[in-house]
Chains A and B, each alone.
Chain A
Amino acid sequence: MPAAGLLAWLAPGLGHWYLGYRDRAIVFFVFTTVTFWAGVAVGGVKSTVHPTRNGAWFAAQLWMGGQALAAWGAGSYVERHYPANEQLKYTAFYPSDNIAVIYTGITGLLNLLIVIDALARSDVRTVQTMPRPPTGTARRG
């Protein structure tokens, strides 16, 4: 069921919630969300989720799905609509920028693990619900 994987990408834990693993879903959502936004708080939205500034880390951050897109959108809004003389105030510098990118990037990679786990659990459910041949019949192939 790819729906579980898509939901897990959209919001951490949503795939597990959909599959009925409600307790695990809450744990995933709380821990990944708090860590991701802690990273954004350290670096600010303008510097943390940024496609050109952070290179490959951006790909890792995007695994946080909707939350990463929201942070990226907020950062783009600040970059475009805030006055030029205030831009420096909202830019993070070492080591805050590194800590922010590592927090958000690693949280994104953790959500990749959660997506894979949701897909694996949905596969197990699919196999368990498949009709089985009656007992005593010979198997082919």
Chain B
Amino acid sequence: MHDTLIDMELPSDFTLFLTPIAITGPWRTLMLIPLALTIAVVYKTIHCRRLRDAPIASLVLCATIVIGMFAVGGALLLVYELLA
């Protein structure tokens, strides 16, 4: 069980880039959002003819990816529950 959203514990001798960060609980799912944002920004920066169109298009694509991934995950969970 995770009482809070922020339940990552760092060791006392933590060194950035050297000591791994233990990611648990909802953070595993939330890590999808920054990755989806980067994918959306890079893709739309390549494809938009005018760069000023890219921010809105990126946010829409990011939301589409995140919602789509959750929908696929939910559908697979439903199939799993029905077959179990």
Contact = CB atoms under 8 A, between A and B. Distances in A.
Chain B interface SS verdict (over half): helix
B51 to A, nearest CB: 5
B41 A31 contact: yes
Given A43-B20, A96-B23, A97-B20, A31 B38 contact: yes
Contact of B41 (A27, A41, A42, A117): A27
A96 B22 contact: yes
Contact of B20 (A28, A38, A96, A114): A96
B46 A37 contact: no
A95 B19 CA distance: 15
A90 to B, nearest CB: 6
A5 to B, nearest CB: 14
Interface string B39-50: 101110110000
A97 B28 CA distance: 11
**B: interface residue count bin:** 20 to 34
Contacts of A43: 20
**A: interface residue count bin:** 35 or more
A76 interface: no
B1 interface: no
A102 B28 CA distance: 12
A40 interface: yes
B20 A91 contact: yes
Given A27-B54, A99-B28, A103-B35, A42 B45 contact: no
A110 B42 contact: yes
Contact of A95 (B16, B23, B43): B23
Contacts of B39: 106, 110
A95 B46 CA distance: 31
B79 interface: no
Given A92-B20, A96-B23, A99-B31, 5 more contacts: A31-B41, A37-B17, A47-B20, A95-B24, A96-B20
